[in-house]
Amino acid sequence: MSTRNIDKLDLLLSKLDKKQLADFIRKECCNSKQLQDRFLALGAGTLFKPDSAKYASRVEDLIEDYSDRHGYIEYRATFDFNRAVTRILDEADEAMENVQWEVAVAVLMGIASISEDILNSGDDSAGELGAIVSACFEKWHILCDDELLPENLKSEIFDLALSRFKDKDLEGWDWWWDWIEMAITLADTPEKQDMVVKALDAIKSNDDDDNWSAKHNAEMAQKYKLEIMSRRGSEEDQIKFMYDNVSNPDFRKRLIQIVWDKADYDEVLRLAKEGVNHDADYAGLVTDWHRWEYRVYQQIGDRDNKLKLARHFFFNGGRWGEKEFYMDSMYSVLKSLVPQNEWPSYVTSLIAETQKKKAFPRLLYIYTQEKMWSEYMDYIRKDPSIYEIDEAPNEVKKLFREEIIKLYAADVRNYFQRASSRDSYRNGVAYIRKLIRYGGSKEAEQIVIEQKSRTPRRPALIDELSKL
* Res. 25 pLDDT band, cuts 50 70 90: low
pLDDT of residue 189: 95
User: Above 90 in pLDDT, residue 427?
Assistant: yes
Helix (H, G, I), strand (E, B) or coil at 48: strand
Whether 108 has a pLDDT exceeding 70, the answer reads yes
Q: How many residues are given for the chain?
A: 468
pLDDT value of residue 5: 63
**Mean pLDDT score of the chain, rounded to an integer?**
91
The CA distance from 255 to 342, in Å, is 39
Angle at 200 between CA 195 and CA 206, to 5 degrees: 150
pLDDT at 47 over 50: no
Q: How confident is the model at residue 318 (pLDDT cuts 50, 70, 90)?
A: low
Environment class of residue 195 by beta-carbon count within 10 Å: exposed (0-12), middle (13-18) or buried (19+)?
middle
Lowest mean pLDDT among 15-19, 54-58, 167-171, 459-463: 15-19
Which residues lie across from 73 on neighbouring strands? 122
pTM of the full predicted structure? 0.78
CA atoms of 345 and 381, how far apart (whole Å): 25
Q: Does residue 21 surpass a pLDDT of 80?
A: no
pLDDT digits (tens, 9 = 90+) for 172-183: 999 999 999 999
Sequence-separated (6 or more) residues with CB below 8 Å from residue 159: none
Which stretches does DSSP call E strand in 298-435?
Answer: none
Among 16-30, 239-253, 369-383, 391-405, the minimum mean pLDDT is found in 16-30
pLDDT digits (tens, 9 = 90+) for 268-280: 999 999 999 999 9
Nearest to 465 by CA among 413, 418, 430: 430
Work out the average pLDDT over 63-74: 95
| Residue of 224 and 21 predicted with greater confidence | 224
Burial class from Cβ neighbours inside 10 Å (0-12, 13-18, 19+) for residue 294 reads buried
- The stretch 152-179 carries a mean pLDDT of 97
Spell 146-177 as b/e; 16+ CB within 10 A means b: eeebeeebbebbbebbbebbbeebbeeeebbb
Measure the CA dihedral 374/376/379/383, to 10°: -110
Give 53's pLDDT tier (boundaries 50, 70, 90): very high
Q: Which of 68-77, 229-238, 377-386, 450-459 has the lowest mean pLDDT?
A: 450-459
The mean per-residue pLDDT over the stretch 454-468 comes to 85
Percent of the chain with pLDDT over 70: 89
Within 10 angstroms of residue 179's Cβ, the number of other Cβ atoms is 25
Average pLDDT over residues 438-452: 93
CA distances from 405 to 276, 299, 393, 400 (A): 49, 50, 14, 9
How much is the average pLDDT of 321-346?
Answer: 94
pLDDT of residue 36: 58
Given CA atoms 234, 236, 237, 243 in this order, what sign does their dihedral have?
positive
Residue 209 has pLDDT above 80, yes or no: no
Beta-carbon neighbour count of residue 340 at 10 Å?
Answer: 7
**196 Cβ partners below 8 Å, 6+ apart?**
162, 180, 183, 184, 187, 224, 228
Q: Do 376 and 396 meet the contact criterion of CB atoms below 8 Å apart?
A: yes
Mean pLDDT over 85-114 rounds to: 95
CB of 141 closer than 8 Å to CB of 112: no
**pLDDT-wise least confident of 39-48, 252-261, 266-275, 393-402:** 39-48
Per-residue burial over 360-395, b = 16 or more CB atoms within 10 Å of its CB, e = otherwise: eebbbbbbbebebbeebbebbeeebebebbeebeee
Using CA atoms, how far apart are residues 351 and 223, in angstroms rounded to an integer? Answer: 44
Per-residue confidence (pLDDT) for residue 161, from 0 to 100: 98
- Give dist(CA 458, CA 444) in Å, integer: 19
